[in-house]
Amino acid sequence: MNREYVPRALAAAVAAAFAAAAGAAPIAAAVVQRLVNAPPAGRQVWQSEPPADCPFEPSPILGGVLFTGRHSDYRCGDTFYPSWASDGNLYSPWTDGTTDGVGCGSGQGADAQTGQAVMIGHDPLELTIRNTSPPKVASALPYQGRYPCGSLVHDGIWYYGTYCLGPAGSYDHKGFRWNWPNLGPMPGFQISRDLGKTWELSPHTPESPLFPEPAQYLGPVKMGAPHFVDFGKNMEHSPDGKAYLLGMGAAEDDPEPRPCIKPTPAGSFEVQPCSDDFAHANLSWISADQVYLARVKPSPETINDLKSYEFFAGRDAGGEPVWTSDFSRIEPLLEWNNHMGCVTATWVPGLRRYLMCITDGWPTVAKMDSYILEAGALTGPWRLVAYMKDFGEQGYFLNFPSRFISTDGKTLWLCYSANFSPDWNGVKLEVNPPGGRYGLCLHELRLLAPGEGAEPAPVDPLQAADNVARQARVEVSSAHPDYSGQGAVDAHVDGYPGDIRKEWASAAEGAGAWIKLSWDRLQTIDRVQLFDRPNALDQITGGRLEFSDGSSIDLARPLPDGAARGLEIAFESKTVSWVRFTVTSVKPDSPNIGLAEFAVFGSGT
């Protein structure tokens, strides 16, 4: 788990190598090339900005969230909800994208697919993610989408839930384009007894779902897109051996409908009158009015049997939770009309608290608000840790995998996906926090006590004074419109699809492209770091460093494509007035080769 940045240790190793070579004839100078991590980017305390009508009291023990800037760099689909199995691995559904070289789409009606993968490893930044079997097909009809929801591996058996969405993934209504505006029924669980290699179909269908809802096609449900509470490895912290499911829902007689809207020229939206029989995504894949709770002793016999379930049905006169096996008596666990949506929860042993993530993603295709609640018991009371307005800026499917929680419970990794709908209805979306993407994201965060400030950030070596590239004059062989060579020496590893000002992209060059750094005064340097453009299209696979003293060094390996790691080249000190990096080979079809960052370390003049 220790991935701290250790340039000083490397410098010492190089010095030791030189010392060992002392006495030998001076032949080729020692050069050490190795991969290094990009410094964490985007460290920030996410300011909690709860709306005035927030019904949750502030938590007395947790008062905020610090994103450390450490984040993953996977290229996968979305909809990851990892479950920690007794073999130590995580097993997760996924869909809508490509994972491990295989595509999957859940919005295909009769041919709707859902994927499944195993996530192997202890480091959230270095997981090996492999499909356990090809995506499986189960009809969504009469809905059009059938997506993954609650997923649990318990005692070696994988229970994989799906839920329906309608009427279409892209639905135009009075000038506004919605994404899956109607949340549908839950057609039970598919079961695998061999950790995802083979599957038994659910006995339920969209027209004969596990929970007896909705009353009519496209009508509201209560146990919508239910997700298992994450009780840790093999459910070890379940209070009673039961699995608990949180659903999002709405009522038939909703007193607060969501409004009809239309886009504005400024990239926002405004309310317009409407008399149509359309619920405007009041209960969609990512928006809801209430949260509901159910529980079941998991087994292949019970998981698809409604009679085996109990439902939270409010509180008795003494304030104690009431459980019922009569689905018609289900009551909201939580309600904040027009401010709820996708819901997950995780037990945090070090805090002896549950954390709940809720995303209000209405109107389904714009920025989304997420918030974190905590409670000592699933039945509450739940209190606010942080209301994260515009998290992502379009973050969804948030969950805290129990596998990646520190012993004290204060450092966790948030699993989510972001920004699936850039430009729908003209709405612009930024990536925030940095490193987010449409697909699996894991971001490290620290929970702060009320009033606790963030500890000082670790020193960022790229921003330290000995990175003399920052003072260099920059020339490049070419620059793509809106890009410049300066982006490669700004001490930030970023670029498309993030901030394009923070990288250099050439104008349609490949091998042969170059970038030259020059100084007015001689610089004594001993180390260079090169970070590829973060995008997955362009990759430098070979290159050469040339120095004003006439020496040169060829790269020993390709630059890592994703830029979460870079290549460090350490060498015996040189005193130079310029260094040029020339690209000598690229990944086939790289459209605009360039660099996210070119750092040069030394003692200056």
Residue ranges binding Ca ion (CB under 5 A): 254, 256, 282, 289, 337-338, 490, 492, 502, 532-533, 538-539, 561, 597
Of the pair 5, 323, the CB lying nearest Ca ion is at 5
- The pair of structure tokens assigned to 429 is 């979306």
Q: What is the rounded distance in angstroms from the CA atom of residue 59 to the CA atom of residue 348? A: 15
User: From the CB of 504, what's the least distance to Ca ion, in Å?
Assistant: 8
Report the DSSP beta bridge partners of residue 546. Answer: 552, 580
Q: What is the rounded distance in angstroms from the CA atom of residue 45 to the CA atom of residue 504? A: 29
Candidates 154, 300, 309; CA nearest to 236 is 154
- The pair of structure tokens assigned to 154 is 């318990």
Whose structure tokens read 């007689």? 253
Of the pair 194, 256, the CB lying nearest Ca ion is at 256
User: From the CB of 280, what's the least distance to Ca ion, in Å?
Assistant: 9
Of the pair 444, 532, the CB lying nearest Ca ion is at 532
Of the pair 269, 496, the CB lying nearest Ca ion is at 496
User: From the CB of 360, what's the least distance to Ca ion, in Å?
Assistant: 11
User: From the CB of 209, what's the least distance to Ca ion, in Å?
Assistant: 22
User: From the CB of 469, what's the least distance to Ca ion, in Å?
Assistant: 10
Candidates 217, 79, 251; CA nearest to 140 is 217
Of the pair 75, 383, the CB lying nearest Ca ion is at 75
User: From the CB of 251, what's the least distance to Ca ion, in Å?
Assistant: 8
How remote is the C-alpha of 519 from its chain's centroid? 40
Of the pair 385, 540, the CB lying nearest Ca ion is at 540
Question: Using an 8 Å Cβ cutoff, are 148 and 114 in contact?
Answer: yes
Question: Using an 8 Å Cβ cutoff, are 69 and 41 in contact?
Answer: yes
User: From the CB of 491, what's the least distance to Ca ion, in Å?
Assistant: 7
Candidates 501, 504, 466; CA nearest to 581 is 504
Of the pair 148, 485, the CB lying nearest Ca ion is at 485
Of the pair 281, 415, the CB lying nearest Ca ion is at 281
Question: Using an 8 Å Cβ cutoff, are 126 and 132 in contact?
Answer: no
Whose structure tokens read 């060992």? 20
- The pair of structure tokens assigned to 484 is 């410049």
Residues with Cβ within 8 Å of residue 189, at least 6 apart in sequence: 150, 159, 160, 161, 202, 210, 303, 304
Q: How many CA atoms lie within 13 A of 220 on its CB side?
A: 22
Of the pair 113, 590, the CB lying nearest Ca ion is at 590
User: From the CB of 189, what's the least distance to Ca ion, in Å?
Assistant: 28
Of the pair 99, 284, the CB lying nearest Ca ion is at 284
User: From the CB of 295, what's the least distance to Ca ion, in Å?
Assistant: 26
In three-state form (DSSP H/G/I as H, E/B as E, the rest C), the secondary structure along 179-238 is CCCEECCCCCEEEECCCCCCCECCCCECCECCCCCCCCCCCCCCCEEEEECECCHHHCCC
Report the DSSP beta bridge partners of residue 372. Answer: 357, 386
Q: What is the rounded distance in angstroms from the CA atom of residue 208 to the CA atom of residue 409? A: 41
Rounded to whole angstroms, what are the CA distances from 584 to 507, 513, 569, 600?
A: 16, 8, 16, 20
DSSP state letter for 48: -
User: From the CB of 466, what's the least distance to Ca ion, in Å?
Assistant: 17
What Rg value do the Cα atoms of the chain yield, rounded?
Answer: 26
User: From the CB of 372, what's the least distance to Ca ion, in Å?
Assistant: 22
User: From the CB of 139, what's the least distance to Ca ion, in Å?
Assistant: 30
DSSP 343-370: EEEEEETTTTEEEEEEEE-TTSSS--EE
User: Which amino acid is located at 141 in the chain?
Assistant: L
Of the pair 245, 595, the CB lying nearest Ca ion is at 595
Of the pair 516, 533, the CB lying nearest Ca ion is at 533
